[in-house]
Amino acid sequence: MKLYKKIFSIIAFVAVGLSFSGCTGDLNVTPIDPNLSTPNKVLTSETAYNQLLAKCYSGLAVSSPDGSSGNPDISGIDGGFGQYLRALYNLNELPTDEAVMGWNDQTVKDLHKLAWSTSDVFVGAMYGRLFYQIALCNEVIRQIKASSIKSDNMTQYLAEARCLRALSYYHAIDMFGNVPFVTDESTVGGANPKQITRADLFKWLTETEIPDFINNLPDKPEHYRCGKGMAYMIMAKLYLNAKVYTGTAAYDKCADYCSKIINLGYTLDPVFKHLFNGDNDKRLDDEIIFSVYQDEYNTQAYGGTTYLTLAAIGGSMKPADYGFTASGWGGLRVTPEFVDKFESGDVRATFYTDGQKKEIADLSTFTDGYAFPKFTNLTDAGTGGAQGNFCNADFPMFRLADVYLMLAECQTVGGVSVNINGLTGLDYFNKVRERAGASDESSITADDILDERARELAWECHRRSDLIRFGKLTTTDYVWAWKGGTQAGNGVNDKYNLYPIPSSDINSNSNLKQNSGY
């Protein structure tokens, strides 16, 4: 059965399966009773629609409404590596200079070697999760539009669902290019969806879809919910990569949306490590623009920051030092090329070196390559999680430091005259470095910006698209350990700038054309 029928059959009516009981505000809701299977029986109040919307948020955080051991939302995909954030990390960090994986799980090493195929299970996991999430949002949008309840809250709920759909379409356009196009106006269980070109999807998102709902989002959203900053950030990211997506750069528009974000009042948190610890939800009021909720009880999953923390612990590392009682999984490390980007005193260089070799002779050996415990389960006060098996650190999907570095790129690479509140792109670049304890720069190049983005945003799922935008992912001009399958590193075919549409979907939908080279 083709992917879309699987998805639509799951959510012909969305039964919310997860309570965000640890969240604040309106996301502190309980599930809709799945035994009441028709909308007219349960969608009778604003509260019910708010509960329905919660499923769209939970789709980013967990694999299953039944917890870490439950049946995953998408059949045929392991609930661990099929979790949205874990799949996103695997496809956006493992093919780069920022991460290697030592496990032998199926084809995971092919990601770092840039040697995947059209049947790669990790590529399929991300693709399936993206279009499950899009279909989920589509159904929620349908139900809200069809409701007889009209209110400011309902208008905002609709905008939130559309914003979450836009996030997944942004990830889809970035990783897969020309993709199937389904919206709330598509017929449920109908004909196979048609493929939209990358350029047309970009145009739909930036000119039609996001501008239509953006003003219905709040300036200051409740924690873990979409606000204007989230939508502005998606727009800024799309315009930052416009040349890749459409062939025409749009740095001026990227700078415009970065300015809008700054004017919402976000500020850099003074302590870098606090952005990635067990109570980083405190930073939702300053630097973090949108964060995916993680909690050791309420969002148990073998993905998200549980994956980013425990998979990065191994060798002589003690899990208790990072807030865990569970054993480390011994998988993720960094390349020597990434280590070399840091100057002495940079607080972002959180490498664990005791018993670890800098060079990676064997990808499967955890002690080959420095460990990089960027995310931890410790609070500001240094205490660990109460349970110690799952992580409490939320995942910062978007934060202000990225905005500052985008402005530096808009000025240095795009030629935009940046002047926001009297500050230039170079000023914003140096603000990021000053927080890290690094020295100011008097002038910067494109390579300086790419390296600074690596230091600041490592493991936050931006590196692959950054390398592609700067022409570095596949080229022989810049290599790192095990790129192309050799320890010294090699260039690879340019086809790896995009992931393939999974062969299972190509075979079941004649409307789809495979990406070039696959």
For the segment 209-226, the average pLDDT, to the nearest whole number, is: 98
Taking only the tens place, the pLDDT of each residue in 361-373 is 999 999 999 999 9
Distant-in-sequence, close-in-space partners of 455: CB < 8 Å, separation ≥ 6: 341, 342, 346, 348, 349, 436, 438
> Could you give the CA distance from residue 410 to residue 239 in angstroms, rounded to a whole number?
10
- Better pLDDT: 72 or 256: 256
pLDDT band at 12 (very low <50, low <70, confident <90, very high): very low
Q: Give pLDDT, residue 34.
A: 41
pLDDT of 175 above 70:
yes
- At residue 45, what is the residue type? S
Asked, for residue 22, whether it belongs to a domain, the answer is: yes
pLDDT of 36 above 80:
no
Taking only the tens place, the pLDDT of each residue in 403-445 is 999 999 999 999 999 999 999 999 999 999 999 999 999 999 9
pLDDT band at 189 (very low <50, low <70, confident <90, very high): confident
Mean pLDDT, the chain, rounded, equals: 91
Q: Are 49 and 43 in contact (CB under 8 A)?
A: yes
Distant-in-sequence, close-in-space partners of 280: CB < 8 Å, separation ≥ 6: 274, 288, 291, 393, 394, 396
pLDDT of 24 above 70:
no
Candidates 235, 217, 241, 224; CA nearest to 166 is 235
> Could you give the CA distance from residue 231 to residue 234 in angstroms, rounded to a whole number?
5
Asked, for residue 405, whether it belongs to a domain, the answer is: no
pLDDT of 303 above 80:
yes
Asked, for residue 115, whether it belongs to a domain, the answer is: yes
- C-alpha 319: how far from chain center: 25
Candidates 7, 38, 4, 231; CA nearest to 143 is 38
Q: Give pLDDT, residue 77.
A: 66
Q: How many domains does the chain have?
A: 1
Asked, for residue 463, whether it belongs to a domain, the answer is: no
Q: Give pLDDT, residue 1.
A: 26
Dihedral, CA atoms, 154, 267, 460, 215, nearest 10 degrees? Answer: 20
Q: Give pLDDT, residue 373.
A: 98
DSSP 109-120: HHHHHT---TT-
CA distances 299 to 393, 483, 484, Å, are: 11, 34, 36
> Could you give the CA distance from residue 505 to residue 517 in angstroms, rounded to a whole number?
17
Bin 38: left if φ > 0, else alpha if -120 < ψ < 50, else beta. Answer: beta
> Could you give the CA distance from residue 85 to residue 391 in angstroms, rounded to a whole number?
13
For the segment 22-32, the average pLDDT, to the nearest whole number, is: 34
Asked, for residue 315, whether it belongs to a domain, the answer is: no
pLDDT of 93 above 80:
yes
pLDDT band at 41 (very low <50, low <70, confident <90, very high): confident
Which residue blocks in 340-483 are alpha helix, DSSP H?
400-412, 425-436, 446-457, 463-469
Candidates 410, 459, 405; CA nearest to 433 is 405
Q: Give pLDDT, residue 63.
A: 84
Token pair belonging to 367: 């002690």
pLDDT of 26 above 70:
no
Q: Give pLDDT, residue 38.
A: 60
Q: Which residue range forms the structural domain that includes residue 207?
A: 3-226+498-508
pLDDT band at 191 (very low <50, low <70, confident <90, very high): confident
pLDDT of 14 above 90:
no
* pTM for the whole structure: 0.93
Asked, for residue 30, whether it belongs to a domain, the answer is: yes
**Sign of torsion over alpha carbons 186, 53, 132, 332:** positive
Asked, for residue 182, whether it belongs to a domain, the answer is: yes
Q: Give pLDDT, residue 243.
A: 98
For the segment 172-201, the average pLDDT, to the nearest whole number, is: 94
Count how many residues are written for the chain: 518
Give the residue carrying structure tokens 């030629």: 415
Residue 505: what are its φ and ψ, rounded to 5°? -80, -35
Taking only the tens place, the pLDDT of each residue in 305-351 is 999 999 999 999 999 999 999 999 999 999 999 999 999 999 999 99
How many Cα atoms are found within 13 Å in the side-chain-facing hemisphere of 515? Answer: 21
Asked, for residue 438, whether it belongs to a domain, the answer is: no
pLDDT band at 72 (very low <50, low <70, confident <90, very high): confident
Give the rounded percent of residues in the chain with a pLDDT score beyond 90. 85
CATH code, domain with 57: 1.25.40.390
pLDDT band at 70 (very low <50, low <70, confident <90, very high): low
